[in-house]
Amino acid sequence: MKKIAVLLALILSFSACKKEEKKPTVKIEKKKPEIKFGYKLDDYKVIQDTIKNGVSFGQILDRHHVYYPKINEIATSITGIFDVRRVRAGKPYLILASKDSTEQAQIFIYKHDKINATVVDFKDSLITARHFKKPINVVEKEARGVINSSLSETMDGLGLRPNLTWEIADIYAWTLDFYALQKGDSFKFIYEEKFIDDTISAGYGNIKSAVFKHKGKYLYAFRYIKDSVSGIAEYYDEKGNMLRSQFLKAPIKFQYRISSRYNLTRRIAYYGNKIRPHKGTDFAANLGTPIIATASGTVIESERRGGNGNYVKIKHNSTYSTQYLHMSKRKVNKGNHVRQGDVIGWVGMTGNTGGPHVCYRFWKFGKQVDPLKEKLPTAEHLPASIKPAYYKFIQPLKYQLENKKVPVKKPQELTETIAKK
């Protein structure tokens, strides 16, 4: 009997322990609400689309059950912030509509680009419009390459977009002839890339520093703001000399060839071997290649006339003017002010021409001269008083171009090295 009683006690004790054991709990995580442009999307029916050709702001709202005169009221109320007449075909937009049976649009979001949008809220009696900018993360990156054929092909091979190639071309337009690049020339530059949500590229930022090895020489470029009041950045070499000159070397950034030079004694067989002076420099390039102003100034002529075809003439100051002939199309009009590097037209074959090119003519005191032989004025360099601060600023940038990491020790030695060069 005692054995049975002990056994029964053990069974009852085991059963009690089992009851006391806690069952494992399963933690169910609540789905975080998706919030975009300041709205919880779960509260709306979300409609995404792209503006089609010929479709207006009013037509879009009308399709989503917002009718006149409400549309007129919306357009009038937000005129100072957003002009609804300027919505462009191809731009994406977002409609946040009510979830009830009417599915009436309550919010219209127009995406200007990946970063900027305009939010028009008309769900209540108070109509509002505001600008929205997505937070951007700027990442510093490095690119390096060796020229095999051209800069653009090398950059393409690195997976870099063309606008970054154009930026590099802008920086070195005054000091480096991209047409004369040789196989084996190399480059390295440090640049910024902007990201949305850490994954979506939103374009490039500034090129902070660069170096080209060309014909055995190292051509440095450092972005520097010498005047905090104006906030204008320029590129300087390691000695503080500005890379930008008053005049660019060519009206085309790269991928061109000089097909005919300034020549006052040129003879042409087609005209019986008679002397027909050529007072311009011909830069041959593909049809549609952008033509840029070689210096800032005011457009004094923009028209199509005779053998010149479509052409533009720019007055830079009381001494210099430049002229650009045979354009397929002109981008500027008489009276426009243009900055150095601005696109003013595109390479064509209008007027008297045997192939696509731009005839670049250079005027000094009203007389046409050869720009390739002129000693042209240069831009201002850094004054001596600023150079010590500049040397200190570029010290880690130069080290970064020559090595892989920013220096953390003995910065004074690096400063002295730069100053000696």
Kindly report the CATH class assigned to 37-133.
alpha beta
Tokens of 296: 């800032």
Average pLDDT over the chain, rounded to an integer: 86
Distance CA 277, CA 106 (A): 69
Q: What residue spans define the domains of the chain? A: 37-133, 136-244+380-421, 257-369
Architecture of domain 136-244+380-421: Roll (3.10)
* Domain pair 37-133 / 136-244+380-421, same fold: yes
User: Which pLDDT value is given to residue 418?
Assistant: 46
Question: Given pLDDT bands bounded at 50, 70 and 90, which one contains residue 193?
Answer: very high
User: Which pLDDT value is given to residue 419?
Assistant: 47
| Cβ burial, residue 418 (10 Å; 0-12/13-18/19+) | middle
Condensed to tens digits (0 to 9), the pLDDT of residues 234-245 reads 999 999 988 877
Question: Given pLDDT bands bounded at 50, 70 and 90, which one contains residue 405?
Answer: low
Condensed to tens digits (0 to 9), the pLDDT of residues 338-358 reads 888 899 999 999 998 888 999
Q: What distance, in Å, lies between the first and last C-alpha atoms of the chain?
A: 106
User: Which pLDDT value is given to residue 99?
Assistant: 93
Distance CA 327, CA 351 (A): 9
Condensed to tens digits (0 to 9), the pLDDT of residues 294-342 reads 988 899 999 999 989 999 999 988 788 999 999 999 999 999 988 888 9
Distance CA 170, CA 155 (A): 15
User: Which pLDDT value is given to residue 146?
Assistant: 94
Q: Greater confidence, 192 or 320?
A: 192
Condensed to tens digits (0 to 9), the pLDDT of residues 154-177 reads 999 999 999 899 889 888 877 787
Distance CA 71, CA 87 (A): 15
Condensed to tens digits (0 to 9), the pLDDT of residues 233-287 reads 999 999 998 887 778 888 998 778 888 888 876 655 545 566 677 888 899 999 9
Distance CA 132, CA 369 (A): 52
Topology classification of domain 257-369: Glucose Permease (Domain IIA) (2.70.70)
**Residue found by looking up tokens 């374009």 in the block:** 203
414 in Cβ contact with 401 (< 8 Å): no
